[in-house]
Amino acid sequence: MKTIKGMKFETLISENDIATRVKELVKEIAEDSDGKEIFVIGILKGSFIFLSDLLRLFNVHNIHPSLDFITVESYGSGKTSSGKLKMLRDITTDIENKWVLIVDDILDTGRTLAFAKEYFLKKKPASIKTCVFLDKPERRVNEFKADYVGFEVPDKFVVGYGMDYDNLFRELPYVGVLSDEEDT
């Protein structure tokens, strides 16, 4: 068990396992997009590290996607979703008739990605797919399923690789499970 800033956690997914799986995901996306121009929408803040790794590897498959970001808030500073979604930042590009890929860090309750997909379907893309780094199916409150999934994880609070607890631990190159225990 590791301790950082007085908080304990165990490594769940190693840096090497992440790198391997991201390469596999990019290959799957490249095959499915079949040479079409990809427009990527990242959901901030948690997706930024995963998304940057995906983007760097698209070049290997001669894919040069366009990119924009949205910010949807549902957590605040707690460990569980409030269930209320709020769009804090929208894309600035027209996505009509484009092959769209929405990228998020974690598929938990399913509310954020369902909200985002429904929102962007109204903008009439040619296709819309979703890609998540982590999937917690035990937490789902709807029937939403991502098209591309990095790893399925248990119902534990995870940090690292862009995911945070109260804005801490995003920089970790691996994923850890945060413990409720704190050092005193």
Give the lowest-confidence range in 13-17, 116-120, 165-169, 178-182.
178-182
Does the pLDDT value for residue 156 go beyond 50?
yes
Does the pLDDT value for residue 3 go beyond 60?
yes
Does the pLDDT value for residue 184 go beyond 50?
no
Q: Which residues contact 118 (CB under 8 A, 6 or more apart)?
A: none
At 25, is the pLDDT very low, low, confident or very high (cuts 50, 70, 90)?
A: very high
**What pLDDT, in 10s, does the model give residues 27-48?**
999 999 988 989 999 999 889 9
Backbone angles phi, psi at 54, to 5 degrees: -60, -50
One of 53, 104, 105, 108 is an active-site residue; which one?
108
**What pLDDT, in 10s, does the model give residues 122-131?**
999 999 999 9
Structure-block tokens of residue 4: 């950082």
Q: Give catalytic status of residue 164 as yes or no.
A: no
Which of the following CATH numbers is that of domain 37-74+83-171: 3.90.1150.10, 3.40.50.2020, 2.60.120.560, 3.40.50.740? 3.40.50.2020
Alpha-carbon torsion angle 33, 45, 110, 100, nearest 10: -20
Q: Which residues contact 26 (CB under 8 A, 6 or more apart)?
A: 54, 57, 58, 60, 61
Domain locations in the chain as residue ranges: 37-74+83-171
| Cα atoms in the 13 Å half-sphere on the side-chain side of 36 | 17
- pLDDT at residue 181, as a whole number: 58
Strand partners, 8: 3
At 183, is the pLDDT very low, low, confident or very high (cuts 50, 70, 90)?
A: very low
Contact 45/71 with Cβ under 8 angstroms? yes
In terms of C-beta density within 10 A (0-12 exposed, 13-18 middle, 19 or more buried), how is residue 104 classed? buried
